[in-house]
A and B are shown apart, each in its own frame.
Chain A
């Protein structure tokens, strides 16, 4: 990967990933989740902070732990792991807010050269159609799938 990322853990099916963001605000547990949507072969990716005391997740909080690039690189890395296990899947991402969607766009843009070596990357336009991802364009969401489906893990 181009950017440094955090180490992470996952469970057998690779649907949930956990890592710790380390920065001036402290150590913050992050969860990345892949959930099947109602359309065949598409999974929604979501990530956010995990509050152990409340046993709840928050994907709207802005932590400002000074490591957003590292966090996004880590999330992208989980994409490689997940689609390594499920190569025929498509992964959809959208933010819970416009700011969050822009954060996702930044994550894709930062890692686009590498991503495009291994994935088809699309953006969802305002009319809900998809086009090949163009840097700088505003999108409602993002969709990726592996180019090489013949991965055997």
Chain B
């Protein structure tokens, strides 16, 4: 992807920091995840509008 395309897409250039891999597989906010699971358990996803 060219730089101007990247800017247009608004996808930030991210810096990779290997230190953060120590979190991998961990749930850092378990209460929030439990709450989200509870809230989404019976919820129906909205339908995405058809492309025009």
Contact = CB atoms under 8 A, between A and B. Distances in A.
Interface of A: 1, 7-18, 31, 33, 35, 37-39, 42, 44, 46, 48, 57, 59, 77, 80-81, 84, 90, 92, 94, 96, 114, 118, 120, 122, 124, 128-132, 140-141, 143, 145, 151-153
A46 B17 contact: no
Contacts of A57: 28-29
Interface of B: 1, 9-12, 14-21, 23-24, 27-29, 31-33, 35-37, 39-46, 48-49
B39 A153 contact: no
Given A9-B20, A153-B1, A44 B36 contact: yes
B8 to A, nearest CB: 10
Contacts of B15: 7-10
Contact of B10 (A7, A118, A132): A118
B21 to A, nearest CB: 5
B50 to A, nearest CB: 12
Contacts of B14: 8-10, 14, 81
Contacts of A132: 46
B45 A140 contact: no
Contacts of A151: 9, 11
A15 B24 CA distance: 8
B46 A13 contact: no
Contacts of A37: 33, 36-37, 40
B20 A10 contact: yes
Given A48-B29, A81-B11, A130-B45, A140 B21 contact: no
B17 to A, nearest CB: 4
Nearest to B29: A46
A120 B9 contact: no
Contact of A114 (B10, B11, B41, B45): B10
B35 A94 contact: yes
